[in-house]
């Protein structure tokens, strides 16, 4: 049988950095040379790999929607030639990029797996080797047709993932959904969880440039701050509220500022600040008032997924009411409803 072929896009990040007098720095070709020096990569069970080093490696803190599109187009150009794709990415904003590509890559029928590391590949205690080997193996041998993220023995749906540890090896989790697959002495894939695209033809949905922002509530937040924030020329806002979707309803001017914004066409999506759980605005008065003010429930979407979904929907040329309708529908498995 012909070997499976995996395309590796090294966009930047800790995993492929080289030690230097100025600390760890990216260098073109260094990652590929390092991988080829490891005996594991000569094992007969390993797929045939092609590594594409991005000409200008991107620190994930600098990642932008234009960079998301660049990665999506890279996959599109090589889609027919490979069985699966691994995207090496810095950990800081990996969950944002994985969420964005889950919406951009419409009709995806092949694995696209994000991974990275907390310690560079060249270091003794690195987590990079296990992450990249397992990501490559899964991409080659398990036709999981969605954008996912592999870290520390677990494959998560990309748009359900959050970075929950700044320096631990188990840096990512999907708090409201079990992993798609778990790696131990055997590989356990939860087939019933896999997302199936209705379309079978890959289409890259380029994001336009809607004005999207995130507003986090906190005890004592002033109505002036919220009013000034929402007075900006914004299309959509992810509102990070308390608990199951609650806000300080005793602050009448603050609530009025929210209602004014939604009545003027701003889409405000309510996501909980809690790591786990779902927004249910009908439970308490402090949530119901938000619902009455025109705020749309984000259910159990992550902030990263809600942000990416707003970019996607505002880029489709549909009206605001339709966008609000689609927010509460699972388009890529990003929410439970």
**How does pLDDT run across 229-258, given as a tens digit for each residue?**
999 999 999 999 999 999 999 999 999 999
Residue 27 clears pLDDT 80, i.e. is over it:
no
At 310 the pLDDT is 98
Convert the pLDDT of each residue in 106-160 to its tens digit: 999 999 999 999 998 888 899 999 999 999 999 999 999 999 999 999 999 999 9
- Helix, strand, or coil here: 65? helix
Give yes or no: 126 in active site. no
pLDDT at residue 284 greater than cutoff 80: no
Average pLDDT over residues 63-76: 97
| C-alpha gyration radius of the chain | 21
Higher pLDDT, 176 or 1: 176
Q: Which of 11, 14, 126, 302 is catalytic?
A: 14
Structure tokens of 36? 């080829």
The CA distance from 7 to 99, in Å, is 20
**Cβ atoms < 10 Å from Cβ of 82:** 22
Q: Supply the pTM of this predicted model.
A: 0.95
Q: Mean pLDDT over residues 35-60, rounded?
A: 87
Q: In what order do the strands lie in the sheet with 84-88?
A: 48-53, 5-10, 84-88, 112-115, 147-151, 154-157, 181-183, 187-189
* DSSP character string of 40-54: GGGSTTSPEEEEEE-
249 within 8 A of 224, measured Cβ to Cβ: no
Residues linked to residue 242 through DSSP beta bridges, in sequence order = 246
- What pLDDT shows up at residue 235? 98
Q: Does residue 303 carry a catalytic annotation?
A: no
Domains of the chain: 5-204 (3.40.50.1170), 212-327 (3.40.50.40)
User: Which residue out of 11, 34, 91, 97 is catalytically annotated?
Assistant: 91
Beta bridge partners of 147: 112
Mean pLDDT across 92-100: 98
Question: How far, in Å, CA of 273 to CA of 302, rounded?
Answer: 9
Query: Cβ(75)–Cβ(9) under 8 Å?
Result: yes
Quote the Cα angle for 72-200-160, to 5°: 55
């Amino acid at each position: 049988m012909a070997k499976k072929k995996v395309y590796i896009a090294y966009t930047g990040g800790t995993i492929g950095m080289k030690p230097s007098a100025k600390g760890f720095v990216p260098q073109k070709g260094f990652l590929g040379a390092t991988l080829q020096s490891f005996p594991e990569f000569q094992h007969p069970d390993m797929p045939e790999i092609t590594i594409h080093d991005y000409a200008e490696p991107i620190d994930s803190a600098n990642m932008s929607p234009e960079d998301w599109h660049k990665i999506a187009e890279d996959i599109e150009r090589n889609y027919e030639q490979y069985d699966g794709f691994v995207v090496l990415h810095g950990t800081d904003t990996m969950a944002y990029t994985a969420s964005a590509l889950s919406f951009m890559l419409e009709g995806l029928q092949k694995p696209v797996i994000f991974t990275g590391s907390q310690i560079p590949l060249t270091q003794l205690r690195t987590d990079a080797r296990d992450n990249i080997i397992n990501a490559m193996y899964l991409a080659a041998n398990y036709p999981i047709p969605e954008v996912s993220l592999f870290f520390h023995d677990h494959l998560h749906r990309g748009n359900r993932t959050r970075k929950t540890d700044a320096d631990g090896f188990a840096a990512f989790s999907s708090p409201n959904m079990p992993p798609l697959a778990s790696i131990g002495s055997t590989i356990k894939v939860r087939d019933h969880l896999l997302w199936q695209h209705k379309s079978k033809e890959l289409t890259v949905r380029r994001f336009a440039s809607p004005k999207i922002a995130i507003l986090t509530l906190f005890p004592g937040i002033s109505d002036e701050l919220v009013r000034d924030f929402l007075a900006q020329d914004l299309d959509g806002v992810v509102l990070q509220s308390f608990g199951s979707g609650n806000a300080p309803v005793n602050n009448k001017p603050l609530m009025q500022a929210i209602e004014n914004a939604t009545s003027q066409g701003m889409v405000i999506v309510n996501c909980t600040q809690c790591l786990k759980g779902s927004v249910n605005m009908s439970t308490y008065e402090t949530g119901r008032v938000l619902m009455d003010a025109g705020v749309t429930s984000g259910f159990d979407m992550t902030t990263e997924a809600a942000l990416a979904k707003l970019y996607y929907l505002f880029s489709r040329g549909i009206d605001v009411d339709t966008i609000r309708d689609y927010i509460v529908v699972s388009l890529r498995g990003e929410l439970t409803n």
